[in-house]
Structure 1
Amino acid sequence: MTSQEQNEWQPELTDEQILAFEQKIKDEEAEKIPLVCQKESIESLEKEFQDNKPFLEKVQKLKETNDELRKCRGDGNCFFRAFAFAWFESLMRNPQIFEAGLEKLKSTTELLLSGGFQELAFEDFYDVTLNQLEQIPDSDPDLLLVNFQTEEISNSIVMHLRFVTSAYLKIHSAEYEPFLIVESISIDQFCAQEVEAFGRESDHLQITALTKALDVPVEVLYLDGSSGDHVAVHEFWPDEASKGSRKALQLIYRPGHYDILYRK
């Protein structure tokens, strides 16, 4: 068979097949990276963006206030995984807020039931998450990292937080439905497709809902290709009254991905 005949014989790939193939490559690359990595110097971002001046300028500005980051696997779950690890780590460093965090997590069962979830659907994810949180007083950072690098544990925590976010959005649908980008979609459809689905990326709506549901403030520092060294900071506070009253978790975002950031 000639090369021309081979080309004529080979069927053209559909758009869906091309997307599936591209996703397969991304997944294979992502799996080479731990679910949650060791801390590393912020200077690693300088190497990553050494050929991208707008990003590099922002990283250099970022070094004035932050010195370390912790990368998470880019599998579509990076926001929830980064949030969870940063939250657990903050409770480990501050015993005074541990009990409040534990009680808030325990209260998510009522939230989930009110949001229309059956207990059978969430109990396994909840049990794993609660078990990991309860271990914090007697644990150490190395064990926390090992647990978050274990797929069964780490992914269960991700799913629990996805369900909590979904339940909060459904309960407060009147408040959040107007912000859906696709007007014809309901909050239930949005939650099923974009929140509860494992591997779906997160945006402002998910972040806002989760911070309110768990009463955990988050700052997201955005790296983008705009000119200048200004790093945009988006603050997500559970309510206006608590704004500035405690330290927020810090995440860093560059297009399509979240990691954990550490202040100096």
Structure 2
Amino acid sequence: MSTNNTEIELTDEQILQFEQQIKDEEAQKIPLVCQDEPLLKLEEEFKDNEPFLQKIKNLSRKHNRIRKCRGDGNCFFRAFAFAWFESALHDNDKFKTALARLKMTPKLLEKGGFQPLAFEDFYEITVEQFENIPKYASDPDMFLVNFQSEEISNAIVMHLRFVASAYLRVHADEYEPFLVAEMISIDEFCAMHVEAFGRESDHLQIIALAKALDTPVEVIYLDGSSDSEAAVHEFWPDESQKGQRQPLQLIYRPGHYDILY
């Protein structure tokens, strides 16, 4: 009787798929967007990680709450969207300005090569939700519930992904030099890393969305460095406006974005 000792070799792609499946299953356990909670909760989460813990404790001088988003690869776009909508809840001028900007995005998308058929459903849901902001001001719970709906929340994420992609495609000459090391074109980068649902985001996506929607973003980075203060990266649509407006505030730790208050 012969014994077959052959071990099954998994390809790199299969290993990545397996790891992604585990991440997805873990992610499903939390809402797309959570209730906000005290920053102390983040301290508890990283109580055994001294470099992170020190930075979080120092953050508490300026910030006191955090709102977590599901870690499904869309967390930057979802966190940006929720924070952007929320910033207009109690500011009528900001609401009108942001809505007007949102209604300009179809022109940008068409200029970036998108057919209306590809984006109009996502756009309509996004605009409908934004137009409901005056109603949500008196019912913030319903605002959160809608952002926890897969259909609504994911449509908004896809619209913002397309907006960021269109901005990069239209301004390819400016941003393609950033991709020299990857040896890919801006079109390839957008198709693989910006438009693809569930792909994580980095500086180019943040820059593009901040500029396309004329919305400043501040990202506080938690990392394992020995510094006691977290690094702060600011993304201003126009550097001349720096300090004149309140940016959306996000917190980043490797592979994940949440909202900071």
| Matching residue within 11, 14, 18 for 1:21 | 18
**Residue in 2 aligned with 1:164?**
163
Alpha-carbon RMSD across the aligned residues, in angstroms, is 1.3
Shift of 1:80: 0.1
Q: Which runs of 4+ in 1 moved over 6 A?
A: none
**Residue in 2 aligned with 1:112?**
109
Q: Does 1:12 align with 2:2?
A: no
Deviations 1:22-61, CA, capped at 9 Å, x for gaps: 1111100000010000000000111111111111000000
**Residue in 2 aligned with 1:193?**
192
Distance (Å, rounded) in 2 between the aligned partners of 1:15 and 1:179: 27
| Number of matched pairs | 259
Tell me the TM-score normalised to structure 2 length.
0.96
Are the structure 2 counterparts of residues 130 and 224 from structure 1 closer, same or farther at C-alpha, using a change threshold of 3 Å?
same
**Residue in 1 aligned with 2:201?**
202
Distance (Å, rounded) in 2 between the aligned partners of 1:243 and 1:24: 41
| 8 Å CA contact 1:30, 1:75 repeated in 2 | yes
| 8 Å CA contact 1:221, 1:233 repeated in 2 | yes
Deviations 1:78-110, CA, capped at 9 Å, x for gaps: 000000000000010211211000000000000
Are the structure 2 counterparts of residues 199 and 181 from structure 1 closer, same or farther at C-alpha, using a change threshold of 3 Å?
farther
Shift of 1:14: 2.0
Shift of 1:10: 5.4
Shift of 1:9: 5.3
Shift of 1:251: 0.1
| Matching residue within 30, 41, 44 for 1:44 | 41
Q: Report the residue type matching 1:219 in the other structure.
A: E
**Residue in 1 aligned with 2:229?**
230
Distance (Å, rounded) in 2 between the aligned partners of 1:181 and 1:160: 27
**Residue in 2 aligned with 1:97?**
94
Are the structure 2 counterparts of residues 144 and 181 from structure 1 closer, same or farther at C-alpha, using a change threshold of 3 Å?
farther
Shift of 1:181: 5.1
Alignment gaps of 5+ in structure 2? none
Tell me the TM-score normalised to structure 1 length.
0.95
Distance (Å, rounded) in 2 between the aligned partners of 1:258 and 1:152: 21
| 8 Å CA contact 1:89, 1:141 repeated in 2 | no
Alignment gaps of 5+ in structure 1? none
